[in-house]
Chain A
Amino acid sequence: MTPILQTERLHKRFGGLAAVADVSIDIAAGEIHCLIGPNGAGKSTLFRLVTGTYPPTSGEVLFKGENVTQRKPYERVTRGMSIKLQVPSVFRELPVNQNLDIALQRKLPTAAVPRERARLLGLLQLEDEAHRPAGILSHGQQQWLEIGMALALEPSLLLLDEPTAGMSPQETERTGELIKRLNAQGMTVLVVEHDMTFVRQIALRVTVLHLGRVFAQGNIEQVIADPRVEEIYLGKGHVG
């Protein structure tokens, strides 16, 4: 079975700096895959190459077998990727309801929107906030709202960049459960994360990036047990 997402020898240079070098990874349909690595490892750059925010210097991105390297972000989204950015980016001045509507109307006829919106509000535990502007929600609630907007697009691949940044441990755990629940329903999820507790909670397979390259890849327990991985984390100061 072809992987849902493949990167083939991706390179991204900024001037003299190789932020991502020769990265080839496969994400299988139905898995939760975590990209980990110390700060500056190239995780966020790789994420942006996948979403199409940056064009790669060389290499290819294949989504469901199709080469999408030249596709703009919105074209990738219409093909079934859904993206949550690192900094929560919701429509701050619009009510929560409307934030969801704008995402939901991409897939649903107008008449079907309210029901699905209610379902999502329940899933995200945002019922009480439905009429409030998204900008006044707590950081964690904004993260959930953004995940909800990503889900509203009925994606086949959910891309999450540091979904738990700024969340309390309880919120983090709830986010992990939400992701696992979605995965159990068949969603493929790619997560960029440096909180190792959270990674342990959700992932089976991880890819470790270091200095822009794939440093290690495989089962989470094996990777963590690898002393070289511990070294790059400790060498840069322990993260998470």
Chain B
Amino acid sequence: MRGFFGSLNGPQTLGNGRSFWTCFAAALVVALVYPGFSDPYSVGNVAYLLIFTLMALGLSLMWGYTGMFSFGQTAFFGVAGYSYGVLAINLDASGAMTLFCLLGAIAVAALFAALLGYFLIWGRVSGVFFGIVTFATTLALAAFFGQTAGPEWAIGTARFNGFNGMIGMPPLMLPWVGEEDIVLEGNALYYFVLALVLAIYLGLRALVNSRFGNVLVSIREDPLRAELLGYDVRKYQLASFVIGSSLAALSGVLYTAWGQFIPPASMGLPAAAMPIIWVAFSGRQDLTATLAGTFLLLLAFQTITVYSQQYALILMGFVLLVTVLLVPAGFIIGIGRLLAGFAGRDRAGTRQDVPA
């Protein structure tokens, strides 16, 4: 047990001390009891927001830890969403089968990421170009799915429906011993997503603080030096890209199952810009900052969207601009570093460098 907790802490994460984990436990308790003090609509809504934090965590791993930024994570989000639709509709899935469809859809997106990543990484595509090729990819996919309105655009019984998006896939269901399957909506979905976020957050913490994470960070700092230490940099980059993209895919499946709907707009603009904004604002070089910042930003965005989507998007653009000009490392990570500076005993494990 001690070993497990030990593996969660390390130089690659802010917040390793007792005070951090106390706050973390408190936040977790709040999250666990929250449905008891709220209405079903709000609970479902928070679940919806949490779904997107997974995509942000994946981008943080790729961009913040490995130094490769993709402007097209929505491509994997969308491909997985459509794949889930195709699988679940054709298999007429229910019960545990929906969970296999979830895994299958993630596998499709991961394979796609591996293929694209292979061409880009083995082609030694560097920073900026990596961003715009992935960006062009997601826009091209959005354009492609946008024109699939005709009845000839279908796989089996699953129709793509062009601009309007694919509909009619079943929600996720959890088989339960001796009982009926639990349909994942409302509180059940909330706890399911919360468990996923928790597991993935802790898993990624362990990953970035492991030997593997050390190598990722070294690639971010200086790929040539990393290679001269005997690491095949390309394999690590590809692994990071596939993991990050699979998390975008998981977000995509959960989103699709949540609304029983996936439109091409989920891959186009402005959707493609959103993960970048969440992660840039939060602080890409720390998982905790990314998780917290993304959730807060999504909450703010949604609150404003109720009044006007345009205003909300203008605000998001403004947030990105201000972040870049004033706090390039990110707002939440800046606050985190301040707190870590105040809490003396937390200092041992924290990074002391100046952000890029």
CB of B232 within 8 A of chain A? yes
Q: Are B354 and A93 in contact (CB under 8 A)?
A: yes
Query: Number of contacts between A and B (CB, 8 Å)?
Result: 75
The stretch of A5-13, A98-106, A194-202, A215-223 in contact with B is A98-106
A-B contact pairs, 13 of them (CB 8 A): A74-B227, A74-B233, A77-B229, A78-B230, A85-B225, A89-B228, A94-B11, A94-B218, A94-B353, A102-B226, A106-B229, A149-B229, A153-B230
Q: Which residue of B lies closest to A132 (CB)?
A: B352
* Given A73-B227, A92-B221, residue A133 in contact with residue B354 (CB < 8 A): yes
- Whether the Cβ atoms of B215 and A77 lie closer than 8 Å is no
Give the CA-CA distance A73 to B227 in the complex, in Å.
7
A54: interface (CB < 8 Å): no
B224 within 8 A of A: yes
Within residues 92 to 135 of chain A, which ones have a CB less than 8 A from any CB in chain B? 92-95, 97-98, 101-103, 105-106, 110, 131-133, 135
Measured in the bound complex, the distance between the Cα atoms of B227 and A217 in whole Å is 32
- The answer to whether B229 touches A131, judged by C-beta atoms less than 8 angstroms apart, is no
Question: How far does the Cβ of A216 sit from chain B's closest Cβ, in whole Å?
Answer: 30
A83 contacts partner chain B, Cβ-Cβ < 8 Å: yes
CB distance from A96 to the nearest CB of B (A): 11
Chain B residues, Cβ within 8 Å of A95: 11, 351-353
Interface residues of B in 302-356 (CB under 8 A from A): 351-356
Nearest chain B CB to A95's CB is how many angstroms away?
Answer: 7
A74:B224 contact, CB within 8 angstroms:
no
Q: Counting CB contacts under 8 A, is A90 at the interface?
A: yes
Is B222 interfacial (CB-CB < 8 Å)? yes
- Structural contact, B230 and A101, CB atoms closer than 8 A: no
Q: Which residues of B contact A (CB under 8 A)?
A: 11, 211, 214-215, 217-218, 221-222, 224-233, 351-356
Q: Number of residues in A with C-beta < 8 Å to the partner?
A: 29
The reply to whether B229 and A89 form a contact with Cβ atoms under 8 Å apart is no
- Most B-side CB within 10 Å, residue of A98, A110, A131: A98
Residue on B nearest A90 in the bound complex, by CB: B225
- Cβ of A77: which chain B residues have Cβ within 8 Å of it? 227-230
Contact B228 A51 (CB under 8 A): yes
Choose one: B211, B225, B231, B356; the contact of A110 (CB below 8 Å): B211
Q: Report chain A residues within 8 Å CB of B232.
A: 72, 74
Complex Cα spacing A97 to B231, Å:
19
A77, A90, A97, A103: which has the most chain B beta carbons within 10 Å? A103
Contacts of A131 in B (CB 8 A): 352
A65 to B26, CA, bound (A): 62
Name which residue of chain B comes closest to A92, CB basis. B221
Chain B CB within 8 A of A91 CB: yes
The distance from the CB of A130 to the nearest CB of chain B, in whole angstroms, is 11
The answer to whether A103 and B229 touch across the interface, beta carbons within 8 angstroms, is yes
A74: contacting residue among B217, B218, B230, B356, CB under 8 A: B230
B94 → A minimal CB distance (Å): 45
Residue of A with least CB distance to B7: A110
CB distance from B213 to the nearest CB of A (A): 10
Contact of A105 with B11 at beta-carbon distance under 8 Å, contacts A85-B228, A94-B221, A132-B352 already known: no
Q: How far is the CB of A232 from chain B (nearest CB, A)?
A: 31
CB-CB < 8 A to A132: which residues of B?
A: 352
Given A95-B11, A110-B211, A89:B222 Cβ within 8 A:
yes
CB-CB nearest in chain A for B221:
A91
Q: Residue on B with the closest CB to A101?
A: B214
A98 in contact with B214 given A91-B221, A133-B354 (CB within 8 Å): yes
B-side contacts of A89, CB under 8 Å: 222, 224-225, 228
A133 touches B227 (CB 8 A): no
The smallest C-beta distance from A186 to any residue of chain B, in angstroms, reads 20
CB nearest to A91 among chain B residues? B221
Q: CB-defined interface of A156-185 with B at 8 Å, one 1/0 digit per residue?
A: 000000000000000000000000000000
Q: Which residues of A contact B228 (CB under 8 A)?
A: 51, 73-74, 77, 83, 85, 89
The docked-state distance in angstroms from the alpha carbon of A234 to that of B309 is 74
**Smallest Cβ distance from A55 to chain B, in angstroms?**
14
